[in-house]
Chains A and B, each alone.
Chain A
């Protein structure tokens, strides 16, 4: 985009607004219209009947999906091969040399570090926010909820430019620091923890808190002994999700990094641009392993606790 190539912040910001519009529309549509229409189909029984597909349609759909799956698998295979051979397609001897890349490991550990911190913060703030929204009468909480969720929907590029505009000068000169990366990722993902917490809080009847106070625990004790333990599953699920998406996010942080705070996702992009396919594949391979592990963990937690992210 314009920012990276030409350093034209103002124009980029204007373009960013246009980027927001479609996602805003989709977002509003999802939050307010889809929810209602879902309820409608549940009560209107006949609407949700599964119509059996005809044989030819079925064959068509299966072929198309198989092609997609094959394509995706092929990409993974290429990445793995590319990571472990000298020059893929030219010199296919096995090697680990692509993993011997200090800048790569540095950027990976920076990514892990930033993602870990911001995922913890995002999950914790989100859970707290969800708890407050579900239990306390807070003026304007609908708006807060909307804004928080909007953080998820807004295109990363737009958010990134926003951060550059705000933090590129006094009083908050943060561009290029770890702090700004953490801030950006945290605020982008709070919505996940919040939604998980709100849905969990709706499962916990208020009588749970009342029982606790009836048994002699004040509000503080009740919060720590009853609510916090019950909030662990949504916290864990929110954390894993936030961590995983933070690890792979590019667009919102691409303007915020500096040579000292390079992130692995962006570093891979740079490697690819410089046609260093072997190095890029090796780092990508590590990323795939991390993301798959997170995904598996997340599914496990979801299955065990009934939390949905």
Chain B
């Protein structure tokens, strides 16, 4: 029971004056799971995280952690550990004393305290840096101290608010893996806030996409990418081409008709799981890499721009009034195209139907 609902948010609301920062959010998080909150700036990620940590009190709703309702508890009484975006290390204490701080509050005996501090520092590979002050550490090292400071208390949930956003690209990558590794090793339950979709896709067991204080979708990374529930999720995570039209049936089977182009499709399923009826209107999502360049395809368009990305090239193709994105892998064997070329596009037969209509 408590393994699957280790941390449960039930209908959480949080207002700041007229602003609904968190709007009826419910999530069940498994023990040992890493969940990312992603969404645009101001969508309520930090607010939700701070509500779980006890730094602001929700206006309505319940938070259950390990079968205990923690709503009434102040931060110091909750078994949550928060890593702040600016790390919030104590500048007047050494690394060792920063990590010791929580254990002293918990009145852990000195010998045990020392062992636990050294273990925590080893976990983040900072065993030899105990005597330094935070100001004598690099950004990545400070971040790891902040994590060690939380880990040493063995929190039930680790809350990370954009912990990597101040770091350079390489460091972000390696620390991302490190967080993942520590989490696996200690079976930690982690909530990870970021506005970097790639970071979320690579690190998370599940992702919650937020917008305007509402969860748009909560799912595994590949589901979020391949089966986004609506237009917002489709465009926030990855690149999207939308086609709005009707499902039709002809001599050769089902096809999708946008009014300007038609392409054959299989049975299409709506978000609610029901099959789309013949003649029904819907918007489908096609990711750029799912469109194949195929000269014999009847759907022709003109290349208006190209962006070379190393392993793939993104083509911007004019199709009637719209611009369609097509990503083609650069294998050195396949043909590349230039601005002005006219190419044929083969659309997938199983595009994903989204919840809302894009006109």
Residues of A that sit less than 8 Å from B by CB: 205, 207-208, 210-218, 221, 225-226, 229-230
Contact = CB atoms under 8 A, between A and B. Distances in A.
A215 B101 contact: yes
Contacts of A217: 76, 101, 105
Given A215-B81, A217-B101, 5 more contacts: A207-B84, A211-B84, A212-B101, A216-B105, A218-B76
Given A216-B76, A217-B105, A230 B92 contact: yes
B76 A211 contact: no
A226 B90 CA distance: 7
B86 interface: yes
A214 B75 contact: yes
Interface in B74-90: 74-76, 80-82, 84-86, 88-90
B55 interface: yes
A213 B88 contact: no
A182 to B, nearest CB: 31
Contact of A214 (B80, B91, B106): B80
20 contacts: A205-B88, A207-B84, A207-B86, A210-B55, A210-B82, A210-B88, A211-B84, A211-B149, A212-B101, A214-B53, A214-B76, A215-B102, A215-B105, A215-B149, A215-B150, A216-B105, A216-B153, A218-B76, A221-B105, A226-B90
Interface in B90-105: 90-92, 101-102, 105
Contacts of B105: 215-217, 221
Nearest to B55: A210
Contacts of B85: 207
B90 to A, nearest CB: 6
B148 to A, nearest CB: 12
A300 to B, nearest CB: 19
A230 B88 CA distance: 13
Nearest to A204: B91
Contacts of B89: 211
A216 B91 CA distance: 18
Interface in B123-161: 149-150, 153
A229 B84 contact: no
Q: Bin the interface of chain B by size.
A: 20 to 34
Nearest to A215: B102
A207 B101 CA distance: 15
B181 to A, nearest CB: 23
Contacts of B106: 216
A164 to B, nearest CB: 44
Most chain A C-beta atoms within 10 Å of own C-beta, residue among B89, B101, B153? B101
Nearest to A218: B76
Contact of B90 (A208, A214, A218, A221): A208
Interface of B: 53, 55, 74-76, 80-82, 84-86, 88-92, 101-102, 105-106, 149-150, 153
Nearest to A233: B92
B144 to A, nearest CB: 15
A232 to B, nearest CB: 8
B88 A215 contact: no
A216 B102 contact: yes
Contact of B88 (A211, A218, A221, A225): A211
Contacts of A225: 101
A215 B76 contact: yes
Contacts of B55: 210, 214
B76, B85, B92, B102 pick with most chain A CB within 10 angstroms: B76
B88 A207 contact: yes
Contacts of A226: 90
Contacts of A213: 74-76
Given A205-B86, A207-B86, A221-B105, A214 B92 contact: no
A208 B86 CA distance: 9
4 nearest A-B pairs in the assembled complex, by CB-CB distance: A215-B102, A216-B105, A211-B88, A207-B88
Contacts of B101: 212, 215, 217, 225
Contacts of A216: 76, 102, 105-106, 153
B86 A214 contact: no
A217 B53 CA distance: 14
Contacts of A218: 74, 76
Nearest to B102: A215
Contacts of A208: 88, 90
Q: Which of B55, B74, B105 has the most CB of A within 10 A?
A: B105
A14 B157 CA distance: 67
A214 B87 CA distance: 12
Contacts of A207: 84-86, 88
A230 B89 CA distance: 12
A210 to B, nearest CB: 5
B231 to A, nearest CB: 35
Nearest to B90: A226
Contacts of B102: 215-216
Nearest to B81: A214
Contacts of A214: 53, 55, 75-76, 80-82, 150
A218 B75 CA distance: 9
Contacts of A221: 105
A18 to B, nearest CB: 47
A215 B153 contact: yes
